[in-house]
Structure 1
Amino acid sequence: MVALGPQAQNRVVALWSTNLHNLAEGRLGTLLASAFVTGEGQTYLLLPGLICLLALAELLWRGRRLIQVFLIGHVGATLIVAAGLAVAIAIGRVPIAVSHADDVGLSYGAVAVLGTLTAALPGRWRPSWTAGWLTVAAVVVVLGGGFTAVGHAVALLLGLALSLRLRTAVPVGARWTLSRAVLLTVGAAFGLLLLVGVALPSALVAVPAGAAAALVAFAARSGTPHRSQP
C-alpha cells in the first residue's frame, strides 16, 4: 500500500474500514479484513512490539486460543463501538460524518490480548496490572481520544473478562522466565502506545495516572490480611 501511493492507500482504507457506512452497506467482510489494513505508512516499525505481545500469548495458551481472543476483541469492540456511534448519531450527539470515518487496524484485537495476559500473572500482581491499564484507558477516553479510544477501552474490558476463563488454561508449572518477562515488557510497551497513541498531552496524564493507580492497588493488596489455610 505504501508503494502504491496515498491515493490507492486511501481507497483501500475507505473500502475496508469497519465504519457505519460500510457496515450499513452490508460489507461484513470488513469485520475481519480491517485488522489487516492500516492507514499508517511505517507500520513495520511497530511489528516488534506486536510480535512480542502475540508470541507471549501463544506460548501461554497456544495458537487456537490466541486467535479466539484476538477475534473476540477485534470484532466485539468494533460492533460495540459501532452500536454506540449509531445511537449517538440518531440522537444528534455525534455528526453523521463520523459514519464515514476510517476505522482500520489491529489495535482492538491486540489490546484484548494484552488484557488476557492478566490470567498468567501471579495473583499479587493482577490488581495492579488491571488498575493501571483501566486507568490509562479511562483517562485517554476522558481527554477526548474519540471513538478509537473508546474501542480500545472496550477491547481491554473484553480481554480482562476473557482472562477469567483463561486462568485455568495456563499450563501447570508455567514459569516467568527471563525471555517471557522480556516479551511481556516489550508487549506491554506496545499496548501502552496503542492506548495513548501519539498524543503527547494524553500520555503525560494517562501514564502517571495509570502508574499511580497500580501503586495504590498494590498497596491495598499488600495491606489486606490473608486468611490462613486450614
Structure 2
Amino acid sequence: MGVTVQLSERLRTIAGMITEGNRLVDVGCDHGYLPVYLISEKKISKAIATDVGKGPLARAREHIAKYNLGEYIETRLCDGLSGINPGEGDSLVIAGMGGPLMEKILSANWETTDSFQELVLQPQSDIPHFRKFLMENGYSIIEEKIILEDGKFYPMMKAVKKKEQESWTVEELMFGRYLLAEKNPVLHQFLLREMNIRKKILTSLRTAETEEALRRRNEVEEERQLTQAALDSYES
C-alpha cells in the first residue's frame, strides 16, 4: 500500500501483540491510528473501528480516507461491542479506558466477547481487579507489556479463552506475572515510583487516629509490602 503511518510507542506496542493476518475490532478507536497502521503494514486483513462518539469516529474516517483504506477498514458508531456481531473479528483491542469501563464493555455481551481468538487490552486503572476479572471469566493472560511514555506508565496484556481457571498471587495480580518473571526494567521504574508514593502517604498518616485513617494506613502498608516484595525479586 506504500504508506508510512507514525504511531506512538503505546500503540506500536499494542500493534505488536496482535496476531498477524487476523481481523481486528478496535473499540474506542479515536483517530483510527491502530487499524490504519496495521492495514498499511499488511499485518491484518481487515478491521472494524468503533467509537461511542461521533467526533472521534469522524476523525477516524478522515484518517482512513487520507490513506485510501476505506476498502479495508469499516467504521461503526456504537457503545462498546453493541454494534459487533459474534465472529466478525479475530482480535479485539480495547485501550486507553479505565478498568471498570472495560469490564462493562466485555461483560455486556459475552457471546461477542468470547467469539474473539484474542483480547489485547490496555486498562488505565484498577488493573489488579481487571486481571482478576479476566481470570474469573474464563480468560488466561498469556502476554504482558509495560511502557513509559510522556511520564505515564501503560501496562498491556493479551488474553485468550481457557477452560481451566488460573490462580495468580496477589503480587502477580498487582504487577503482572510475566512482567515480574522477566524482571521487566520499566516495571522496575514503576515499582520504585509506587514505593515512593506509598512512603509519602504513610508519613502523612503517621499521626492520624481516626478509624478511616487507620484503615487507610493499613491498606497502604499492605501495598507497600507487596511493592517491596516485587522490588526484592529484582535482586534475586
- The answer to whether TM tops 0.5 is no
The structure carrying a bigger strand percent of its residues is 2
Range of TM-score over shorter length:
under 0.3
If you compute each CA radius of gyration, which structure gives the higher value, 1 or 2? 2
The structure carrying a bigger helix percent of its residues is 1
If asked which structure has higher relative contact order (CA below 8 Å, sep 6+), I would say: 1
* TM-score normalised according to structure 1 size: 0.23
